[in-house]
Amino acid sequence: MDKGQYYPRLVGPCRAADGVTVLELRGDLDILAVSVLSGRLDDITGAQGVDLVIDLRAVTFIDCAGLSLLSRARHRTRQRGGRLRLTGVAAGGSVARLLRITGLTGAFETVADDVTARETGAAAPAADIVVA
């Protein structure tokens, strides 16, 4: 059975506007979801100089596999001269909580929404995250 059948609504629309690619994720960002998403995210982050915003507003749960996926995407984007930002990292949400307990709160650049991402200029990148 195709893994994508377990997560039919995991990935929302991937859209580009004003040079910013926005990928909307939904539901649980766990080990099974990562196996479904990793190829698609690798395709996006494989592009030279991509400006990617991952919209996490509809993510209801994230575990270490999900965090590793985000870290890998950030690393691949930076390697290719691009930029990765997260939106939907609400103060009391599961993504913010995992970033806080792992000490990675400042490791990802966050924006209020994709409109803000298109309006903001280049920012100083945070230090690389190495996930074994």
CATH topology of domain 3-113: Transcription Regulator spoIIAA (3.30.750)
Give the DSSP letter of residue 128. Answer: P
Other Cβ atoms within 10 Å of 78 Cβ, number: 16
Of the candidates 50, 62, 61, 63, the residue with the CA atom closest to the CA atom of residue 23: 50
Segment (H or E) for 126? none
CB-based contacts of 39: which residues, under 8 Å, 6+ apart?
none
* R_g of the chain, CA atoms, integer Å: 14
Predicted TM-score (pTM) of this structure: 0.79
pLDDT digits (tens, 9 = 90+) for 72-131: 999 999 999 999 999 999 878 899 999 999 999 889 998 876 666 666 654 434 333 333
Number of Cβ within 10 Å of residue 124's Cβ equals 5
